[in-house]
């Protein structure tokens, strides 16, 4: 269903078109008129924004049939090929290969992946400076971003609630543990630091907001658009778990360029097969581990271990090392569960085949 028409055709750049996606369209004989970007998803119903307007869409049976995992379904941020969108529902035929994808271990079911968003250039990792700030969690988000080929930026919100000296010490503690990262402190209330965020956002680039519930992600989107596009609210800290203000992901195109994806707050930032993410986030630790003279060193108790030496000398932070070990264990556990799951699926497939062969054949013979 056509939900809205833009007054003029948009430029593909305004939707975040980049050379890689354009090349794909060209080399597959696809025109911009049959492509769009997924802006929201509600139970397998999608909203797709094209250069002419916004459409409601479903996936074709073929795409569903071909899908092997959750990752094969469209996600917010995806470029998709659609058809027949003038009357009625549009159909999504194909998901154009993504240049980046942010995913995490799904809450609850181990070994399952949840896709957060795709085709992202920058992740805005938002933590509230007053009570939410947690450097271990920041490293978790960094690992996910690095594994996704997305550039992370740390946004410290609610700076109006803390003193300037407290803010300084928070920024200092991040700098000590995470070198070379943009840190943008700001307040949605006083709007201090807001201009820096605004100028950071470039036309045609896509930004994804990540962070816990209640840190001010949606309020930031509203401030950026100058409109109440996202519902925001007060979270009661005494109420049950799982209360979030934002209930689904949504992509918003900003008037002054830039595309921003708001997300529901996350309680857990589960690690999946993020080897590369861990390598980049903890490059110093991994370099030392490689340089360690002991073969098969676990770098946890061996006297003379290069990593443990560095920790003793204060070259690497002990807390960072503990955090690294914890995530490394989670990664291994995830990989193991995934392998077990695959094995089970295979076994089930075989059982089903045998059943068809033996049982059904016997029945029909009679
Ligand atoms: N003091 C202060 N309050 C803020 C700031 N930013 C947001 N808030 C308030 O914090 C509450 C939560 O803000 P939201 O923007 O809804 O938070 P969110 O991160 O989108 O939360 P979820 O959608 O649940 O993930 C609201 O009551 C906001 O008014 C800030 O910079 N300073
Ligand atoms: Mg929100
Ligand atoms: Zn060692």
CB 64 within 8 A of CB 79: no
Instruction: State yes or no: pLDDT of 10 exceeds 90.
Output: no
Domain contains 52: yes
SS3 300: coil
> Nearest ligand, CA of residue 212?
1
In 3D, which of 17, 39, 1 has the Cα closest to residue 260?
39
Q: Are residues 149 and 40 in the same domain?
A: no
Of all residues in the chain, the percent with pLDDT exceeding 70 is: 86
Co-location of 121 and 143 in the same domain? yes
> Looking at 48, 72, 95, which one is the last position of a domain?
95
For position 44, what pLDDT does the model report? Answer: 83
pTM for the full predicted model: 0.86
Return the pLDDT at 365: 55
Q: What is the C-alpha radius of gyration for the chain, rounded to an integer number of angstroms? A: 23
Residues 255, 114 share a domain: yes
Q: Are residues 156 and 70 in the same domain?
A: no
In a domain, 352, yes or no: no
φ, ψ for residue 117 (rounded to 5)?
A: -165, 165
Give CA–CA dist 299/288, Å, rounded: 10
- Domain match, 110 and 256 both: yes
* 4 vs 49: CA distance, rounded Å: 9
Same domain, 165 and 50: no
CATH of the domain at 312: 1.10.40.50
CA diameter of the chain: 85
**Structural domain includes residue 309:** yes
Whether residue 250 sits in one domain with residue 121: yes
Three-state secondary-structure class, residue 101: strand
Q: Is 355 inside a domain boundary? A: no
Q: How far is ligand 3, taken at its centre, from the CA of residue 305, in Å?
A: 4
Same domain, 82 and 116: no
pLDDT at 189: 95
pLDDT on residue 238: 45
Question: Looking at ligand 1, which residue's alpha carbon is closest to its atom 21?
Answer: 214
- CATH number of the domain that 42 lies in? 2.40.50.140
Residue nearest to atom 16 of ligand 1 (CA): 232
Q: Is the pLDDT of residue 265 over 70?
A: yes
Range of the domain at 35: 2-95
Nearest-CA residue for ligand 1 atom 1 is: 158
What is the tally of structural domains in the chain?
A: 3
How far is the C-alpha of 343 from the C-alpha of 351, rounded, in Å? 12
Q: Which residues of 262-281 are buried (b: 16+ CB within 10 A; e: fewer)?
A: bbbbbeebbbbebeebbebb
The pLDDT tens digits for 205-217 are 999 999 999 999 9
CATH of the domain at 205: 3.40.50.300
Domain assignment of residue 329, yes or no: yes
Q: Which of 68, 95, 122 is the last residue of a domain?
A: 95
Same domain, 20 and 84: yes
For the segment 284-295, what is each residue's pLDDT rounded down to a tens digit?
898 999 888 888
Is position 238 within any domain?
A: no
Q: Which DSSP string do the residues of 144-186 spell out, in sequence order?
A: HHHHHT-EEEEEEE-GGGS-HHHHHHHHHHHHHHS-S-EEEE-
Would 64 be classed as within a structural domain?
yes
Q: Are 114 and 254 part of one and the same domain? A: yes
**Ligand 1 pocket, residues with Cβ under 6 angstroms:** 157-158, 160-161, 187-189, 213-219, 232-234, 244-246, 264-265
Say if residue 301 is in the same domain as residue 227. Answer: no
364 part of a folded domain: no
Q: How far apart are the first and last CA of the chain?
A: 52
Question: What is the Cα–Cα distance from 156 to 187, expressed in whole angstroms?
Answer: 8
What are residue 59's DSSP bridge partners? 92
**pLDDT at position 355:** 64
Of 48, 67, 95, the residue that ends a domain is: 95
pLDDT digits (tens, 9 = 90+) for 89-98: 899 999 999 9
Q: Ligand 1 pocket test: which of 127, 155, 214, 248 has the largest number of ligand atoms within 8 Å of its C-beta?
A: 214
Of the pLDDT bands very low, low, confident and very high (cuts 50, 70, 90), residue 241 is: very low
DSSP-assigned states of every residue in 181-232: -EEEE--TTT-TTHHHHHHHPPTT-EEEEEE-TTSSHHHHHHHHHTS--S--
For residues 49 and 170, membership in a common domain is answered with: no
Q: Identify whether the C-beta of residue 299 lies closer than 8 Å to the C-beta of residue 307.
A: yes
Q: What share of the chain is helix, strand, coil (3-state, %, to 5)?
A: 40, 20, 40
Atom of ligand 1 nearest to the CA of 232: 16
């Amino acid at each position: 269903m056509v939900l809205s028409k833009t007054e003029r055709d948009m430029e593909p750049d305004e939707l975040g078109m980049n050379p890689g996606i354009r090349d794909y369209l060209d080399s597959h004989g696809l025109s911009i008129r049959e492509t769009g970007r997924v802006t929201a998803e509600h139970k397998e119903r999608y909203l797709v924004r094209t250069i002419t307007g916004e459409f409601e869409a479903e996936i074709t049976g073929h795409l569903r049939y071909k899908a092997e995992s959750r990752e094969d379904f469209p996600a917010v941020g995806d470029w998709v090929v659609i058809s027949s969108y003038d009357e009625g529902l549009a159909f999504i035929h194909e998901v154009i290969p993504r240049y980046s994808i942010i995913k995490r271990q799904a809450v609850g079911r181990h070994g399952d992946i949840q896709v957060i968003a795709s085709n992202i250039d920058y992740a805005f990792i938002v933590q509230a400076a007053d009570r939410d700030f947690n450097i271990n969690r920041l490293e978790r988000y960094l690992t996910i971003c690095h594994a996704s080929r997305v550039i992370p930026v740390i946004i410290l919100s609610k700076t109006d609630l803390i003193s300037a000296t407290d803010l300084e010490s928070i920024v200092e503690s991040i700098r000590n543990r995470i070198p070379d990262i943009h840190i943008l402190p700001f307040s949605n209330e006083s709007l201090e630091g807001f201009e820096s965020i605004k100028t950071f956002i470039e036309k045609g680039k896509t930004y994804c907001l990540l962070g816990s519930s209640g840190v001010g992600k949606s309020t930031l989107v509203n401030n950026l658009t100058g409109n109440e596009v996202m519902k925001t609210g007060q979270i009661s800290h005494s109420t049950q778990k799982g209360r979030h203000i934002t209930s689904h992901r949504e992509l918003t195109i900003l008037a002054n360029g830039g595309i921003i994806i708001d997300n529901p707050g996350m309680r857990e930032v589960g690690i999946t097969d993020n080897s590369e993410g861990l390598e980049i986030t903890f490059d110093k630790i991994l370099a030392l581990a490689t340089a360690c003279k002991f073969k098969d060193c676990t770098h946890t108790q061996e006297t003379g271990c290069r990593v443990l030496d560095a920790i003793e000398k204060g070259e690497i932070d002990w807390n960072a090392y503990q955090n690294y070990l914890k995530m490394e264990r989670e990664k291994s556990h995830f990989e193991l569960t995934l392998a077990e799951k695959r094995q089970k699926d295979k076994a089930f497939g075989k059982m089903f085949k045998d059943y068809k062969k033996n049982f059904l054949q016997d029945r029909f013979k009679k």
